[in-house]
Structure formats: structure tokens, C-alpha cells
Amino acid sequence: MADPSIFGDQEAEFLKELVRQKVDFMIVGLSAAALQGAPVVTQDVDLWFRSLSDPGIERALKKVHGRYVPPTTQNPPMFAGDAVKLFDIVTTMDGLGEFDEERGHTIKLRLGRVKILVLKLERIIASKKAAGREKDKLVLKVLQDALKVIQEREQS
């Protein structure tokens, strides 16, 4: 079993609070791919919010003693605090549609006590292809192979 301290009660509590506050969000990026079974590594959990001005985000942050750091000319928006240091805020996804459109390409996965929307692997692949950075190209093959395995498993 993987070390439970790396995504433990604090992080699960924050996600639970977001759900409780009815904040519209989804997990995207490589963390979403990993959740679906792709053998990838990642350093953060990317969260894509429908609206960063949703007051539920502030309330959820308050519950776990975190805070929101607004974007500046040099930095993107981010969270600060122990319970939320693993989370990154995503504002757009390369090659994909708007939040509402991509919401239709999600699955619900259980994380702790709540089910969270997770962007489907097919869409993560599409986004990585569109981004076209070296680090995206490196991981594409793994994601594509993993997708085939997952589809095989779903059919069987």
C-alpha cells in the first residue's frame, strides 16, 4: 500500500468540503490520469474550477486553514496552507473546451468519503497532445497504452 500520509485526511477533508459547499470542480492532468489507473508520476493534484469566485471555495479553504492567493502578473492563482499544498489551480486546459463542455467528459471516482469528478483519460490525452511540450510528449505513450488497457478491462 502506498504511503497514506501523502494524500491523507487533510487533503480528503478539503475535497469533501468543496463537495459539501457544492463547488463545481474536477480533477484534471496527470493526477486524474493516475486516479484512473495510468502508471504515471505527478507532483500535484490539478483542480479545475468552474468559477474561482465561487464563495464555496473560500469556505472550504477556511475549514482546513488554507487560503486563496489571487493571481498576479507573475504568478497564477494558488492555494496556501498545509492541507492544500498538494493542490494546483488550473484555469484552462490546452486543446479542450470550456469547463461546462468538458464536464460532460468526466467520471466520478471515490476519494475518501466523497465522489469527485475526474476528467476522462481520453480528454487528458487530447490536452497533452495539444499542449505539445516535451514533458507532455514523454508521457503520451504511457497514457495511450493505459487507455487501451482500461478500455479492454471495461469490455471484459
* Residue 153 binds another protein (CB under 8 A): yes
x/- binding map, residues 23-62, to another protein, per CB under 8 A? -------xx--xxxxxxxxxx-x-----------------
Least distance (Å) between residue 73 CB and another protein: 26
Nearer to another protein, 23 or 111 (CB): 111
Question: What is the distance between the alpha carbons of residues 26 and 84, in angstroms, rounded to a whole number?
Answer: 15
Residues in the interface with another protein (CB under 8 A) total 35
Residue at grid coordinates 504511503: 3
**80 close to 9: Cβ distance less than 8 angstroms:** no
**128 close to 139: Cβ distance less than 8 angstroms:** yes
* Residue 78 binds another protein (CB under 8 A): no
* Residue 82 binds another protein (CB under 8 A): no
Alpha helix ranges (H) inside 36-133: 55-63, 99-102, 121-131
Q: For the purposes of burial, counting CB atoms within 10 Å of the CB of 45, is it exposed (0-12), middle (13-18) or buried (19 or more)? A: buried
**118 close to 27: Cβ distance less than 8 angstroms:** yes
β-sheet bridge partners, residue 114: 111
* Residue 148 binds another protein (CB under 8 A): yes
Q: Which of 28, 61, 111, 117 touches another protein by CB under 8 A? A: 111
Q: Pick the piece of the chain touching another protein (CB under 8 A) from 50-58, 68-76, 94-102, 105-113.
A: 105-113
User: Which positions touch another protein (CB under 8 A)?
Assistant: 1-4, 6-7, 12, 30-31, 34-43, 45, 86, 109-112, 118, 141-142, 145-146, 148-150, 152-153
